[in-house]
């Protein structure tokens, strides 16, 4: 079999930053669209290939933090099937001043040059947030979408807002001037060469992480008291909150997972205005640092999780790529501290 550019790029990135799990695992456990598996000139790697590559690496990062997600992927591969990346989600805060572009703007500056466009907005009123969905213009049904949520601190107490400021104002912007220039070029030309890609992609990955310092334990408790989502941002920042496998027969899948004793959401979320069903594992429990007057300590907090989605077809035959605010708010509860039946 001829070496594809997906494999070639993963090989080179493995040499630049190291891949865990390795290149072979990522090639064998993820579905790679045939449209990005062809041969391209190393001088003109198209944005759709770069977008898929970024999604592969963000998925890789997530399953390293969510052991059950990796176990699921390997069980699926053992049955001759692969992960079909549907969307990844991350959380931001609309707040000024802060060192990063406020809220969703910190990521629209990355996603739009890669060929994404804002497809829809989903108010998450119960959470004082809004979800912004970015879909790829070249292969909307095939390239994984991004669900970028934005939290609004002004809807909470003054004490809460002060804690938000203390947490996020310690951040630094990871996007370098060199990467900014490459994103401008990508936006204009739709492609980069191999060397430019190998410079850009690792820096883009660094943007999907916590950019601020470890929070004060006191501030974390203030945030948690009013918003589990902001408390999560305090420890995890802009890391992938979850990645999602697109599957069929989610009802049968859920029944099998419950029979195995997996920590799956008690009920499936069914969209009101879309042909979409969703469920998820509960978030992995992880150790994170906090600062206290007596020095730094670690505590167990909710981390990221793995989600599953079934998408139907619209009347015109196209895949229903929409989301649902009620579904999203139910799925978000996977990172709450205690299990809740949100059906």
Query: What residue ranges define each of the domains in the chain, with the CATH number in brackets?
Result: 5-335 (3.10.180.50)
Closest CA to 85 of 111, 59, 108, 105: 59
Question: 341: burial class by Cβ within 10 Å (0-12, 13-18, 19+)?
Answer: exposed
Please give the model's pTM, rounded to 2 decimal places: 0.94
pLDDT of residue 20: 76
Residue 18: the pLDDT is: 67
Question: What single string gives the DSSP state of each residue in 22-56?
Answer: -HHHHHHHB---GGGSS---TT-EEHHHHHHHHHH
- Identify the segments of the chain with pLDDT beneath 50: 1-2, 339-343
Q: CA dist 326 to 246, 266, 277, 281, Å? A: 19, 16, 11, 18
Are 95 and 165 within 8 A, CB to CB?
yes
Q: What is the pLDDT of residue 176?
A: 98
């Amino acid at each position: 079999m001829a070496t594809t550019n997906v494999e070639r790029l993963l090989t080179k990135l493995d040499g630049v930053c190291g891949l865990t799990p390795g290149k072979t695992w990522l090639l064998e456990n993820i579905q790679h669209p045939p449209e990005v598996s062809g041969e391209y000139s190393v001088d003109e790697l198209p944005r759709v290939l770069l977008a898929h590559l970024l999604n592969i690496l963000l998925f890789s990062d997530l399953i390293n933090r969510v052991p059950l997600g990796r176990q699921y992927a390997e069980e699926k591969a053992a049955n001759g099937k692969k992960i079909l990346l549907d969307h990844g989600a991350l959380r931001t805060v609309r707040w000024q001043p802060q060192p990063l572009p406020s809220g969703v703007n910190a990521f629209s500056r990355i996603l739009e040059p890669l060929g994404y466009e804002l497809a829809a907005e989903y108010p998450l009123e119960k959470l004082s947030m809004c979800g912004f969905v970015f879909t790829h213009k070249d292969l909307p049904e095939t390239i994984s979408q991004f669900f970028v949520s934005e939290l609004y601190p002004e809807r909470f107490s003054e004490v809460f807002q002060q804690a938000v400021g203390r947490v996020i104002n310690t951040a630094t912007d990871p996007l370098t001037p060199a990467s900014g220039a490459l994103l401008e070029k990508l936006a204009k030309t739709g492609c980069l060469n191999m060397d430019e890609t190998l410079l850009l992609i690792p820096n883009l990955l660094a943007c999907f992480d916590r950019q601020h310092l470890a929070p004060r334990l006191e501030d974390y408790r203030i945030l948690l008291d009013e918003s589990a989502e902001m408390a999560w941002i305090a420890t995890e920042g802009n890391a992938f909150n979850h990645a999602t496998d697109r599957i069929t027969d989610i009802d049968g899948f859920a029944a099998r997972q419950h029979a195995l004793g997996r920590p799956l959401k008690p009920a499936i979320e069914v969209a009101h205005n879309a042909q979409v069903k969703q469920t998820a594992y509960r978030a992995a429990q992880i150790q994170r640092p906090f600062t206290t007057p007596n020095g730094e300590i670690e505590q167990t907090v909710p981390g990221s999780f793995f989600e599953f989605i079934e998408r139907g077809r619209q009347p015109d035959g196209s895949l229903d790529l929409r989301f649902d605010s009620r579904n999203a708010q139910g799925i978000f509860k996977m990172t709450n501290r205690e299990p809740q039946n949100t059906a």
